[in-house]
């Protein structure tokens, strides 16, 4: 009786590992397609940060500032619309617990940003951007590392760790330089892995 129970436990464990392995494989294939989101978000955020740096460090005409603002808002709206469309489209396909878990990770990150702003406003009665900016970068770094860890993608894990290091470096710098640090972080953690994953999507 004990032998049968032991064999059943081994079978159940082996079956569970196989299910997990298949889930990770499916998520790997899905993530390669999701590389397009890494690319789009990475380049848009690089643009936003570089433009913000230019606006702080250079004397620009009102017309140029308005153009920068318009383009930034337009890109933001477009990337959000595309992301929603992409997610809704993917939901019609095969879903895994891993994919759903990752969705909660990133939703929690955005919720955390909102809460930090609310708490900072309640406690300090002011938004200190030099403090807020590195904290936001830390949240992005954590979400990125968790994503890479769940999916066993070292490139994403290292990208998230780099984002965290840039957040620490930013805490020593004025806001304008923090923007450049974040732009570099988006390039290393999102754009480069995104292009790599998207290029491998057919493999």
Residue showing tokens 């019609």? 92
Q: What is the mean pLDDT of the chain?
A: 82
7 to 17, 19, 21, 199: CA distances (angstroms): 15, 18, 21, 44
Mean pLDDT along residues 89-111:
75
State the pTM of this model: 0.80
Instruction: Write the CB contacts of 173 (distance below 8 Å, at least 6 apart in sequence).
Output: 181
Q: pLDDT band at residue 8, thresholds of 50, 70 and 90?
A: very low
- Residue 195 and residue 155 in contact, taking contact as beta carbons nearer than 8 Å: no
Query: CB pairs under 8 A, 24+ apart, for 89-97?
Result: 90/30, 94/26, 94/30, 96/23, 96/26, 96/27, 96/30, 97/23
Mean pLDDT along residues 69-88:
86
Mean pLDDT along residues 106-119:
91
Residue showing tokens 């993917």? 90
Mean pLDDT along residues 197-202:
73
Which of residues 176 and 1 earns the better pLDDT score? 176
């Amino acid at each position: 009786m004990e032998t049968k129970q032991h064999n059943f436990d081994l079978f159940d464990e082996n079956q569970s590992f196989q299910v997990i392995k298949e889930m990770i494989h499916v998520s790997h294939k899905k993530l390669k397609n999701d590389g397009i989101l890494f690319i789009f978000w990475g380049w848009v955020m690089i643009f936003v940060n570089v433009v913000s740096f230019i606006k702080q460090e250079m004397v620009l005409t009102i017309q140029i500032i308005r153009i920068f603002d318009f383009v930034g808002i337009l890109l933001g709206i477009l990337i959000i619309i595309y992301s929603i469309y992409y997610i809704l489209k993917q939901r019609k396909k095969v879903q895994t617990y891993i994919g759903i878990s990752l969705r909660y990770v990133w939703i929690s990150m955005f919720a955390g940003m909102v809460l930090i702003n609310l708490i900072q406003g309640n406690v300090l009665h002011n938004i200190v951007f030099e403090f807020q900016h590195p904290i936001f970068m830390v949240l992005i770094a954590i979400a990125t590392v968790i994503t890479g860890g769940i999916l066993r993608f070292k490139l994403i894990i290292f990208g998230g760790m780099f984002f965290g290091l840039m957040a620490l470096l930013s805490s020593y710098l004025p806001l304008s330089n923090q923007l450049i640090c974040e732009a570099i972080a988006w390039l290393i953690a999102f754009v480069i892995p995104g292009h790599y994953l998207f290029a491998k999507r057919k493999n």
